[in-house]
Structure 1
């Protein structure tokens, strides 16, 4: 290729308004996180800017040298990205050891490793589709998902432009602009269509994965390639610039970004960012460029990456320590501290490595910091294992009776609650461990078989969402005692209800469960949670009862309707670990944890067809909700039992199931709380 002729003619000049746009995006992310608990769309702006800047850099390198080699490209990126990232991960790990509750420390350690090696977005994508994991408190490193996507995008762009160079040389193309435009347009369209599709089908998964976000980078690349030939007058430039900025600021207020992105709604902040950059083509007296190009804006824009990384770390530890949302002053302090730390980090850590001429020395420093991070990760993990190895021991019924402490009014000596705080979140029902619980993406019926699987006296089907599934431990214990077979037929986030659209994934699964039940008449009893404690909507509860009546009337099966357990908007074990039992009990009792009370009272009084069981009494001591009963931690998050506590229901459930199975006469007592 002729090195005297540009592969692609692009406008190569410093665009101060882009630096200003970067700080606007970073501050929007911080402001919406701190004061509104919402997502702003600022990350999407970072993506389009990154696409613009890296495309500009790559094309300029090719135009200048005629070559495009991997190591110079990747070493430059690593020297720019890794120093800040490794330093923040290092600081976060140290702070985590001293300030984070054990319930969240393990998650943070995993995310630290994922952040260092740029795969955290995929880790979050798969955990976000796990309904149970979605209820866990966010870690101080969760925001590194965006950085992971950025790193993966840079690798994709290297492959893309290597391919461009190959085609240019093979076919002796005199100008690669048409080729690059074609490839970037194709990538944008394919990625955008896939983003729309996957957002509709599985939005939590779509939010984090790389392929639904590539179009945002590609739009930045297209802007880079074509910006120089787009001509607008001063008036239009002034108008579209301010429209873009105002629209960008309002993104988080107008849209629930965390639940709608990255589908077609993401076009809003993308368009706003493109309008702002496009308006910068023309110098106007009253244009947005003058504001964004102010020295203070460009200076802050240079550290916007650090501000983005620091603000979430500081906000997370503030919430862990103070246990409340930041007010005006504390929020401003978080932002100012983020700015200060970013200046320090850029000046004394990032700049010396980025600007150093000796690559060997620079990467030696990075290697040392990386080694310290890995040593810390391993050390924290090992210390956690050692510290909590006692939680693996067999617990005796005498010391840890759980539900029986209430059911039998047993006097017990106080012990350290089990499962241990470090393991409480992972104390899952067997169906979640052996993968017999259906996930959010699939609609087929998965059936787990437990209890006595041969020569059993009866078959009991546990059906519904995770609020049915968390009863599995107790039903298995009861089945072992009575000689029953248990079938677990559950799907995360999906009630056994008539309230879903037929063509929705949840509706399809419910239909498939109905078909399964109709073809398995050997099932003696169908069990499902029949209310939602988090909702006071009679419609929601009615749809669940309607479905159970269908099972009773049309399939001829007995049905046990279980009331939902008390539900909170905070993680009970995390609250318990941080503030102790007394304060947690107060917070639990100050919260309206059973919004289904009125509905359940009417249902229990008037319905004489379905068996029903209200477990509320087993979540209280002295008529107060409590986080621990019989020395067993009740909750694993905000609304699910630990499997250990569920198993302690074994004796209670065995008695009630025996009554149902062994008493076939008509007119028997259907309210099992009376049994």
Structure 2
């Protein structure tokens, strides 16, 4: 999972940040430069290293300092208005124009480059970005079984701006609301009240971040309250800055250490897995130290001479200019990277490609800042009450024209309407998918075309590329599979509910997708199917399981397996149906993991026979999962969107090597109903085999019921 960049509120002066004065004072060019360093780190680490640099956390802390300080100054002034609407209008004018322009450009590139199967996700995320809830959209994607395998979104980086937008509104409501209630009664003690309030909220948010990080780091990464402490720390520093007094030598040492921590954070800390937990204190704490190092109240106004050397370096013109472009540069660099990788099919950008992406991002950021952001942000040559902008073109700004504002507004409305329209179109397309369960076996033989060769008429493939995403087993629709965070065991019954014979379907999603066929066979041969399922969690004795695909730690799986094994042994079904192999992650083919042996032993010790299904092939090219529906949507065919059989399946079913050791292990192998002798194609018998990169579509699974029934009948002797 990757990060993004935040917004860059206007900088403040030391006098304003420290004392609340509206007079022009010592402008903090160094913090503009710090923004420049942060955006450079974010972009370079994304483009060339695929890592989190910590730059986003620097942005969050700076945003809290600037915005929080501004709001606190307003409330501490007894004569100031506490109306939040003007601040909201300023935020909209500052943030939305550039965002709308980038989103509209991304929409066009999505249509030109991405397959139709990706358009719905883009529509959802563009609406989430415009509505500033993209972080929650991404959090739900992480936890959503149907979307867990989706490709990286060109809008994924907008999550941090959503966090900031939510913080700005919540902070406005909290501070202005509190001030309207207690300002008169507290008087000069109002600052102390806010320090105590912000400190309590910061501690609460940080504590929550630690707990959420331990419970489920992937979703905590996008959680607003788990991230709030980073902005609250900045706001709290803004309230305490006036009381900072320390010698130059100590400020120089502190600033040097802090800048070194910011520059090295991405290389030393795996932020993708460690943030927003305690390790996020490194970039956030370093940012706070950089703020405080040059915030000496006795600094000589209007000069940089009394600033520590690291801060003076940050205040140089190139970094200040880069800092001014930070917001637009962050908006542009990530989608350009993702669209380039999608267009070329590369996994990473090389040095030349990365340099070209960064150069183009810089050009587009400059144009966006010059011709969109600043004309709509500043009302004249400079904004009243603020120091004159130091970027040369900002001195020649005119009032924003009605034309520019109208064009941006029209783009936003068009993007919103188009996104809603496409979502409705997909909904209509999927509504026709209800007929998938009743497709003619003659017209859509599916697996039967491989097992018992039959004539295959030339008809449109079903499910279509738009139907495939939701062509899932009934347990997914019924909520009968525990999600990634849930350790509870969910039992549901399918097949013949009144039957005395029972097959327990147990394990992860690769056991689950067989339910479609087992349900049909249960009703036909009079046995019931009871589910014991959890996403991404095959039965295994592994102490620290990993989620297949991203290798993230999955402690909830271990806890669930222990509960499930105890329940299975207590329930004593006639058979347990589960997967017995997994793909190799170091070479082609598949393997039976050693951590499965303890499971077979436990069943054997309790005299419970196992229907051990060889896992279906996982479609991986160049180490990266690919979805046949995407390939077909781009114009590929059944063969070009498939994969060589030798790359995904070993010549011999690995389970067969353990039958002598475990006589109750009954191997099942449906590989020949999915793959031909040399290739596993994307489509057989007019039916799309996979609904994503490695799960069989429910429609194709129905066509495998006959062969599966033959193998189960032979293994059990029931028919």
TM-score (norm. length: structure 1): 0.89
- Matched with 2:674 is 619
- Matched with 2:600 is 548
Q: Cα deviations across residues 235-285 of structure 1 (Å, max 9, x unaligned)?
A: 333333333233223322222222221111111211222233333347578
Distance 1:624 1:591, change over 3 A: closer
Q: Does 1:578 align with 2:622?
A: no
Distance 1:173 1:595, change over 3 A: farther
| Equivalent pair of 1:561/1:610 in contact (CA under 8 Å) | yes
Deviates more, 1:188-197 or 1:571-580: 571-580
SS, match of residue 571 in structure 2: coil
Q: Does 1:528 align with 2:578?
A: yes
- Matched with 1:40 is 53
- Matched with 1:84 is 98
Q: Cα RMSD over matched residues? A: 3.1
Q: CA deviation at 1:591?
A: 8.7
Q: Cα deviations across residues 314-373 of structure 1 (Å, max 9, x unaligned)?
A: 112111211102211111111111121122222222222222489996976664333212
SS, match of residue 173 in structure 1: helix
- Matched with 1:668 is none
- Matched with 1:472 is 515
- Matched with 1:654 is 709
- Matched with 2:564 is 513
Please give the alpha-carbon distance, in whole angstroms, between the structure 2 residues aligned to 1:645 and 1:359. Answer: 58
SS, match of residue 53 in structure 1: helix
| Equivalent pair of 2:375/2:400 in contact (CA under 8 Å) | no
Q: Does 1:261 align with 2:275?
A: yes
Q: Does 1:313 align with 2:335?
A: yes
Q: Does 1:112 align with 2:144?
A: no
SS, match of residue 442 in structure 2: coil
Distance 1:132 1:328, change over 3 A: same
Alignment of 1:377-396 (within 5 A): 377-384=419-426, 393-394=435-436, 395-396=439-440
Q: CA deviation at 1:137?
A: 0.7
Alignment of 1:120-519 (within 5 A): 120-281=134-295, 283=305, 287-324=309-346, 325-356=348-379, 367-384=409-426, 393-394=435-436, 395-454=439-498, 456=499, 458-500=501-543, 504-519=555-570
Distance 1:328 1:597, change over 3 A: farther
| Equivalent pair of 1:446/1:489 in contact (CA under 8 Å) | yes
- Matched with 1:25 is 38
SS, match of residue 370 in structure 2: helix
Distance 1:25 1:633, change over 3 A: farther
| Equivalent pair of 1:149/1:210 in contact (CA under 8 Å) | yes
Q: Cα deviations across residues 555-614 of structure 1 (Å, max 9, x unaligned)?
A: x3221111222222322322444362478457x339943589785453357543301123
SS, match of residue 137 in structure 1: coil
SS, match of residue 44 in structure 1: helix
Q: How many residues align?
A: 655
Q: CA deviation at 1:115?
A: 1.0
Q: Cα deviations across residues 66-104 of structure 1 (Å, max 9, x unaligned)?
A: 222111110011110111112222222222222211221
| Equivalent pair of 2:255/2:308 in contact (CA under 8 Å) | no
Please give the alpha-carbon distance, in whole angstroms, between the structure 1 residues aligned to 2:120 and 2:692. Answer: 15
Q: CA deviation at 1:539?
A: 11
Q: CA deviation at 1:413?
A: 3.6
Distance 1:235 1:648, change over 3 A: farther
| Equivalent pair of 2:645/2:680 in contact (CA under 8 Å) | no
Gaps of 5+ in 2: 1-15, 297-304, 381-398, 546-553
SS, match of residue 610 in structure 2: strand
SS, match of residue 107 in structure 1: helix
| Equivalent pair of 2:183/2:190 in contact (CA under 8 Å) | no
| Equivalent pair of 1:482/1:658 in contact (CA under 8 Å) | no
Q: CA deviation at 1:51?
A: 0.2
| Equivalent pair of 1:247/1:272 in contact (CA under 8 Å) | yes
Q: Cα deviations across residues 199-231 of structure 1 (Å, max 9, x unaligned)?
A: 101111111111100100011112212223323
SS, match of residue 245 in structure 2: coil
Deviates more, 1:628-637 or 1:645-654: 628-637
Q: Does 1:9 align with 2:60?
A: no
Gaps of 5+ in 1: 1-5, 665-675
TM-score (norm. length: structure 2): 0.84
